Structure 1
Amino acid sequence: MTDFTGPEKEGLYKAIFSRRDVRSHFIQKDIPDDVLFRILNAAHHAPSVGFSQPWNFILIKDEGTRQQVKDSFARERDRSIKMLEGEKERQGQYAKLKLEGILESALNVCVTYDPTRFGPFVLGRTSIEDTGVYSVCCAIQNLWLAARAEGVGVGWVSILSNEDLEKALDIPAHVKPVAYLCLGYVEEFAPRPDLERVGWLPRMDLAKAVCYEKWGTHQPKEWKGLQDAVR
């Protein structure tokens, strides 16, 4: 395969930096089958430990099923708000946030993890069992970036009960829900993530997240060139 051209690189980085966790701004427009196929196929071509491909994608349009999930979100959101009772200002800020688009989006997708796929022995998973879930997360990121390139917004709803999802979607006991996603065309992709824009948390400097050779080492002389670039 040939190297990426300049415009191709720009397209990749544009998708990465303009991807958003979409909770609002969904419009009433269906995702064409060919577009949805490309998004799902990109997800299916993610790397996976031992080439185990342990994901499934449950596609949900049914309003009744989505309402069950929305009800689970409402219960879990109320529980989260109560956890902030000692921080009234932050509790009020949390209560005002729009955190899902379950009913407004064109499509919901539940991405699951099946640890039994291709048998009990998975090459590379014998020492770190969580690599199976990490593989599913790689598929989710592929899906998200492909969707952004297609102009489709994606929102990950994590304020949910997995037990509720398992019941609503008839998920077998050995399969684990990993992500519940809302997909749809949107009015716009915001220039900044919602939680950064409203001041919930700031964007952390990359320099604070990069260590050199050992944990906590941020200023080694032999890495000065990269260190200057990161700054």
Structure 2
Amino acid sequence: MTWPRPVPVIGDQTHAAERAADPAGWAFDPATVEALHAVVGARRDIRRYRPDPVPDELLRTVLEAGHRAPSVGHSQPWRFVVVTEQATRDRAAVLADRERLRQAELLTPDRRARLLDLQLEGIREAPVGIVVACDRRTHATGVLGRATFPDADLWSCACAIQNIWLAARASGLGMGWVTLFQPADLAELLHLPEGVETLGWLCLGWPDERPPEPGLVRHGWSTRAPLEDVVLRERWPGEESPAAPVSHLAGPQPEAVVAARDTGDDLLAVPGSLGVLDRAVDRVLALPGPVPGTGTLVVVAGDHPVAAAHAVSAYPASVTADVLAATGTGESLGASTARQAGLHVRAHHAVSPDVQGDLLTADALTGTAAAALVEEGRALGTELAATGLVCLGEVGIGNTTVAAALACALLDLDPDDAVGLGAGADAAMLDRKRAVVRGAVERVRAEHPSAGPLTLLAALGGPEVAVLTGITLGAAAAGVPVVLDGLVTSVAAAVAVRLEPAAQTALVAGQRSRERGHAAVLTDLGLEPLLDLRLRAGEGVGAALAAQLLLTALRARATAGRVS
């Protein structure tokens, strides 16, 4: 049966069905839209003003529009310094006059003469000056969205200026944006503290000109470029621009992504109430393959000369074969966990057709071997996709050293931030692992400058890493989800995404392990883990546990009550 939809008394009261039925339902009426475009089209940079005062209430309305601008992390970094004293405006005008002459000297004689003929500001005439100052004293990493774009606070203030400009024009006021200042001079004039920057001076008042077109266009300084000249499709054009990534995969269509989210909105539950798990379910439902009811844990084994050559593992190489055999009989920890989750189990031994190197003195794989192993994995991934979820597991003495080295090369990490304890290293062994990884990465950077992902995989990877990369690509191409386990499987997925970016849409991070570099690799993949249990088991244990959780959530969403 269906249930009446609980409607929140705060926030968005619409429902996915309403939004799907009328995607344009949020639009304003045509008259309002037309008025907005009229104001945008009629905005001008005004240089001449009447002396009549601007009413306080109107000034407040204009500033309120600025305060409603979007801001990075809702930080609202703007501070509006309103200047009406004539003495301050006179001093600001002197600063602008000086800079106007300095800038004129940088131009050709003809351009210089034309610039000096123009009135570029109305600081003295306009009854109000507004200086939009950006308070940047909070470190960029402390503001959501600024860690990667630290100047986003300045862009936010520019949005506020645009809002002020449009609100002023709609009310019949004129505004001019003056940047003919040395920033330090303007900051000193207004006694701004260290860490607060200005975006120039806004002249505000009743206009003593009503230009039908921009002033610089009217005076032949420039013209507005056609829209076609400034709109680029997909990427920057030209022979020297980077080519589009060659990809045989495509991510889910937008319609599928929205439809998946809508299924959660239809439940008799608060949308998104399952947190990271809800997002993972949305991700799975958006894929083109069938909704999985089960799946397969594939445990891929590989051998690594680095383990014996440099003593970077607490266990002998023979353990790899033992665990692989136990996986085949269903007795390994990974296989047992998978069976409890209702998953099939597949054991696969990845063997290089060529001699393997020890990372430090020679590449782990030849390029030919790496490519062949990736294709071997791609075929296996395509086959396993028919069973549902494809969960990745691995076993290989020494492979956390290999994965750490490959992560350092792919993500430009320092070995101190990537090398972990693996299966139980002591302090001395950990030091050896770091030294091996550092030396291997330095060697590869010297021998393979500007190396692509497949070259790095060959140089620093291993047989099971290459096969896992291929499995990821094959399963993603089939449109089924790939559930990752620990560092080794996640590094393989990072290589796959660099080869085929759309493969990322099929990935689900099963867990975040104790391996030091794992969190950085998941961040690089843009994935949040479902579990954080401090696992260091390998063998796909974390992937199997996460798969059970994911399959439960998929069944719950399919059978839970719906709202009308």
TM-score (norm 2): 0.37
1:116 aligns with 2:137: yes
* 1:173-219 Cα deviation digits (max 9, x unpaired): 110011310000113431100001111011111101111112128xx
* 1:103-138 Cα deviation digits (max 9, x unpaired): 100100000101235996000111010111000001
- 1:130 is aligned with what amino acid? D
CA contact (8 A) 2:39 2:169 kept: yes
1:205 aligns with 2:226: yes
Give distance in 2, aligned partners of 1:80 and 1:173: 26
Give distance in 2, aligned partners of 1:69 and 1:147: 22
- 1:51 is aligned with what amino acid? H
CA contact (8 A) 2:133 2:196 kept: yes
Give distance in 1, aligned partners of 2:145 and 2:31: 35
1:56 aligns with 2:79: yes
Between 1 and 2, higher relative CO (CA 8 Å, sep ≥ 6) is seen in 1
SS in 2 for 1:127: coil
Label 1:188 to 1:92 Cα distance change in 2 as closer, same or farther (>3 A). Answer: closer
Give the structure 2 partner of residue 6 of structure 1: 30
SS in 1 for 2:199: strand
Give the structure 2 partner of residue 137 of structure 1: 158
CA contact (8 A) 1:56 1:112 kept: yes
1:46 aligns with 2:69: yes
CA contact (8 A) 2:44 2:211 kept: yes
CA contact (8 A) 1:52 1:118 kept: no
Label 1:89 to 1:119 Cα distance change in 2 as closer, same or farther (>3 A). Answer: closer
Deviation beyond 6 Å, 4+ runs, structure 1: none
CA RMSD of the aligned region, Å?
A: 1.6
Give distance in 2, aligned partners of 1:117 and 1:106: 33
- 2:102 is aligned with what amino acid? R
For the pair shown, the structure with the greater C-alpha radius of gyration is: 2
Give distance in 1, aligned partners of 2:84 and 2:139: 30
In percent, how many aligned pairs have the same letter?
38
- 1:158 aligns with one of 153, 158, 179: 179
The number of residues matched between the two structures is: 214
* 1:144-167 Cα deviation digits (max 9, x unpaired): 001111111000111112121111
Give the structure 2 partner of residue 193 of structure 1: 214
Could you tell me how far 1:82 is from its partner in structure 2?
A: 1.1
Give the structure 1 partner of residue 547 of structure 2: none
Aligned ranges 1:64-103 → 2 under 5 Å? 64-84=87-107, 87-103=108-124
CA contact (8 A) 1:113 1:177 kept: yes
Structure 2 gaps, min length 5: 1-11, 13-25, 239-564
Label 1:187 to 1:64 Cα distance change in 2 as closer, same or farther (>3 A). Answer: closer
CA contact (8 A) 1:18 1:189 kept: no
The range that moved more, 2-11 or 170-179, is: 2-11
Give the structure 2 partner of residue 167 of structure 1: 188
Could you tell me how far 1:139 is from its partner in structure 2?
A: 0.5
Give the structure 1 partner of residue 413 of structure 2: none
Give the structure 2 partner of residue 35 of structure 1: 58
Give distance in 2, aligned partners of 1:23 and 1:103: 10
Give distance in 2, aligned partners of 1:186 and 1:107: 12
CA contact (8 A) 1:108 1:180 kept: yes
1:19 aligns with 2:20: no
Give distance in 2, aligned partners of 1:118 and 1:44: 22
Give distance in 1, aligned partners of 2:57 and 2:136: 30
Give the structure 1 partner of residue 148 of structure 2: 127
Label 1:17 to 1:76 Cα distance change in 2 as closer, same or farther (>3 A). Answer: same
CA contact (8 A) 2:43 2:166 kept: yes
CA contact (8 A) 1:102 1:182 kept: yes
Give distance in 1, aligned partners of 2:161 and 2:102: 27
Give distance in 1, aligned partners of 2:232 and 2:176: 31
- 1:6 is aligned with what amino acid? P
Label 1:56 to 1:117 Cα distance change in 2 as closer, same or farther (>3 A). Answer: farther
Label 1:62 to 1:6 Cα distance change in 2 as closer, same or farther (>3 A). Answer: same
Give distance in 2, aligned partners of 1:185 and 1:124: 38
Query: Relative to total residues, which structure has the larger helix share, 1 or 2?
Result: 2
Could you tell me how far 1:7 is from its partner in structure 2?
A: 1.2
Give distance in 2, aligned partners of 1:146 and 1:118: 31
